[in-house]
Structure 1
């Protein structure tokens, strides 16, 4: 299989990976943090602001692919503490319509670039 990769010009990468990969019937999107923005601002310290920025970065990549949040079938959320769960959920639920995509949310010890939340999605091709 030849991988077709997508990269958004206004989203940075913190390692050797593609922002999204075309995998036949699905697109797999790499995790995004608030710190993956090309311009990182100080207002991205609060978990709600970080979560918003994660989705903004995901949307930038989705624009390159030509899909929307309505096409998302699976989401993985990584938090540096479950103390952030309610605040993250408050932002998360504004990004999707019912029925919500399948989701996994786990607490991890650390995330790249000092972020407190990272979000990745899988999209079924329309």
Structure 2
């Protein structure tokens, strides 16, 4: 494979890696912003209407809360139920919501920032691999 083709492939991979880094950083920033500056309220955990118990265990529950301007919001929970911390129908959880877009919520104590960190780390590794590949190919010319 000639140097030009390798350079193009490395550039495309580096672009994809940088995109992954930016997506992860944006997700972390949004979660932190909503947690710190959002309105904190209690939300009621509800299972999907019409879903039986087996189905509702697989689906993310609904969160119902009242905004500052007295609107009742019902949003899909941004995090799934786990064995360690299950969401049961009728539970109360603390959430923060963005007043500009109340559908954007963060469940306190269950932020799950791991996927964003994986995007950042994976993207950085792809960029590093791309640059290393490019340097090795150019140096071997």
Q: Same fold (TM over 0.5)?
A: no
More helix by share: 2
State the structure with bigger RCO (CA 8 A, min sep 6), 1 or 2.
2
Normalising by structure 1, we get a TM-score of 0.24
Normalising by structure 2, we get a TM-score of 0.22
